[in-house]
Structure 1
């Protein structure tokens, strides 16, 4: 009998660098090591705690939940309804909206990519640098990818003019990926005028915006972090939004997210959700239920919701305090890095070579990916100055 040679013929894949960093950090015995790599929020003790609102919701579910049956490919209707109200507001930009629950924001992006790829002529435009998984997700479904420079590391500024020029030259029907707030990996924010200019061009050119909303509430506030996204949605005919609950609810391992569609006709949105559900059925079949039930239990109860809002505000304020300290400490080595203080969310991008990032790991126990992206929430405020002292000499 002939033996198959499938596994032997496979191309060996490079391990994900961030996942490698987790293992290397855990194996490092040095007491002064610092993890700036993995994108999870940490408190002043270095922990990623379960939020009090989540604990309260889980206790409520333990008392009241009567079944662990499937919830269907579309997911939990209460979760989808309450999350949409929280993310988009009562008016939903005056447009009908429909959604489907997904395994995290990544699952939502993948389903959106499947929908976009149905038109083989379509290209999706992505600003660089961006989250490391973005391009891989869209390439995996055969979408054409166009890129433009979004951020200059040396000056720590968003290249808005380059972005707008690219969108003006895009073809009608092309998609554009936009991060709603707290840009990963740069932390660069856009002004109200920037968002208005983006909205005008997308509407004029007939482009389809896809928003990645993963950090709402960790930049300037729940409403403020969605304002730019909503101005675009209000101006265009159709839009797609991938929402992650990992950061805002600290539900990382529960894989809780949703994909939402906006349009002018509810019937068309229902058709779109039907297509998303069809792709979900042949991929993961049904979404995990527990995280969605937690979010719904929090948002449906005024007391639990207020506890969550208060905790989220505490997280945001802590990140802001770290940024202020980092702006002063890193700005002593590179004046442009004082801009870290005006950036938003968990991430910033340092001008450092891959070689020096590796040297920092080996010589000082400071862990960051070779790109120089740091999770500012991985530092304690009191440690920022000493971390900057170790990193400063290695900056480009």
Structure 2
């Protein structure tokens, strides 16, 4: 069976991670891997997570299965986090949430659901988008197309082209929208642009699939879901995928969820039976421990406040690295304007660096970034920011 198997090219980001690990340069800088890092270059465990785990260690009673759709306590907590405490959808029967193995698992279940209930539907993703979106939806057997998003000339959102494309989509198709901290560009729509987008999506009869992977990493927990809330107000149906990897620092616990919004409660019950069937045929049950951590934190006022404070510290550090890098490049009279980096949101930035400039940084300075010029701003810290600035200034003079 396996003698004639052809090797598949490895994921470029994973290859970059291996190259960084094998580089003997003591001053190397990792701007590739998409995880949060503190000022020492480590991905920390939040203090509040340690407290929640201590509580669970003392009080956990079973390691039994938690069911295909996961922890029943998690669903309302995540719904309130996304929509607000008193949103009319909550309790209406029109929204239900299934826990999944991370945000990626939620996306895969969403793809499987779409293929099961409307196999002719296409999923439209932004150009560019997180590269794994293509792999996940292809694995579900759903056709993927792209819509314009990034204006390279202005380092801004290509809003006019994006809206024009939405008006040409087929009613019943699905459009994937990043709730905030767009990966990989760091460019989010303004509130007025979100109003235009939600209006266009609703009028065209396209179903929004909102990828909410970075809530709290951009402007704040409320600000980062303003577009999401506009979309669910105007669209009778929607899908939302949630990740707790970043804002809780639970990368290896794989905590995510898929929320399904339908026009009626009856339709929701039927659709969630399809969701449960998709899960049963895939991984059967999601992992319990990470979800228990999130539930413990969100259901306790003291822990919730501590989590929000630690989340704000991560968000503020990323902002500081953005503004400090821009300031440093100006101070050394860099000939290219990088001020747009300070306006972007979240961990990622489309830096505007070319592939050749990225390769120069890698080969000459041990600075690792994705070939597209996408950098992880959280990989910058007080110890490497000056070196990074001087290296960028060198690279653009080639």
Q: Same fold (TM over 0.5)?
A: yes
TM superposition shift of 1:358: 2.9
TM superposition shift of 1:122: 1.3
8, 11, 16: which is aligned to 2:11?
16
45, 55, 70: which is aligned to 1:50?
45
3-state DSSP class of the match of 1:7?
Answer: coil
Where does residue 3 of structure 1 map in the other structure? none
Where does residue 120 of structure 1 map in the other structure? 119
3-state DSSP class of the match of 1:260?
Answer: strand
Q: Contact 1:126/1:148 (CA < 8 Å) preserved in 2? A: yes
1:1-396 map, 5 Å = 6-92=1-87, 94=89, 96-118=94-116, 119-330=118-329, 332-333=333-334, 335-381=336-382, 383-395=384-396
TM superposition shift of 1:336: 4.2
3-state DSSP class of the match of 1:8?
Answer: coil
Could you tell me how far apart the structure 1 residues matched to 2:87 and 2:63 are?
Answer: 32
Could you tell me how far apart the structure 2 residues matched to 1:123 and 1:91 are?
Answer: 33
Could you tell me how far apart the structure 2 residues matched to 1:134 and 1:389 are?
Answer: 34
TM superposition shift of 1:36: 0.3
Could you tell me how far apart the structure 1 residues matched to 2:110 and 2:125 are?
Answer: 14
TM superposition shift of 1:277: 1.3
3-state DSSP class of the match of 2:125?
Answer: strand
Deviations 1:59-82 (A, max 9, x none): 000000010011011100111221
Q: Contact 1:33/1:366 (CA < 8 Å) preserved in 2? A: yes
Q: Would the alpha carbon gap of residues 269 and 75 (structure 1) be closer, same or farther in structure 2, given more than 3 Å must change?
A: same
3-state DSSP class of the match of 1:142?
Answer: coil
Could you tell me how far apart the structure 2 residues matched to 1:360 and 1:26 are?
Answer: 16
Could you tell me how far apart the structure 1 residues matched to 2:328 and 2:151 are?
Answer: 20
TM superposition shift of 1:376: 0.2
Deviations 1:276-312 (A, max 9, x none): 1111111111101110000000001111111100000
Could you tell me how far apart the structure 2 residues matched to 1:291 and 1:334 are?
Answer: 47
Q: Would the alpha carbon gap of residues 82 and 269 (structure 1) be closer, same or farther in structure 2, given more than 3 Å must change?
A: same
Could you tell me how far apart the structure 2 residues matched to 1:155 and 1:390 are?
Answer: 23
Could you tell me how far apart the structure 1 residues matched to 2:283 and 2:334 are?
Answer: 48
Deviations 1:330-368 (A, max 9, x none): 465464421110110000012333344233222211011
**Structure 1: where are the runs of 5+ without partners?**
1-5
Normalised by the length of structure 2, the TM-score is 0.94
TM superposition shift of 1:369: 1.7
3-state DSSP class of the match of 1:37?
Answer: coil
TM superposition shift of 1:133: 0.5
* Comparing 342-351 and 56-65, the one that deviates more: 342-351
Deviations 1:207-259 (A, max 9, x none): 10001110000100000000111111111110000000000000000011000
3-state DSSP class of the match of 2:161?
Answer: helix
Could you tell me how far apart the structure 1 residues matched to 2:162 and 2:6 are?
Answer: 36
Q: Contact 1:325/1:385 (CA < 8 Å) preserved in 2? A: no
Q: Contact 2:341/2:351 (CA < 8 Å) preserved in 1? A: no
Q: Would the alpha carbon gap of residues 171 and 59 (structure 1) be closer, same or farther in structure 2, given more than 3 Å must change?
A: same
Deviations 1:312-344 (A, max 9, x none): 001111111111112234465464421110110
Deviations 1:178-211 (A, max 9, x none): 0000000000021111111111111111110001
* Comparing 65-74 and 331-340, the one that deviates more: 331-340
Normalised by the length of structure 1, the TM-score is 0.95
Could you tell me how far apart the structure 1 residues matched to 2:103 and 2:68 are?
Answer: 16
What's the RMSD between the two structures over aligned residues?
1.6
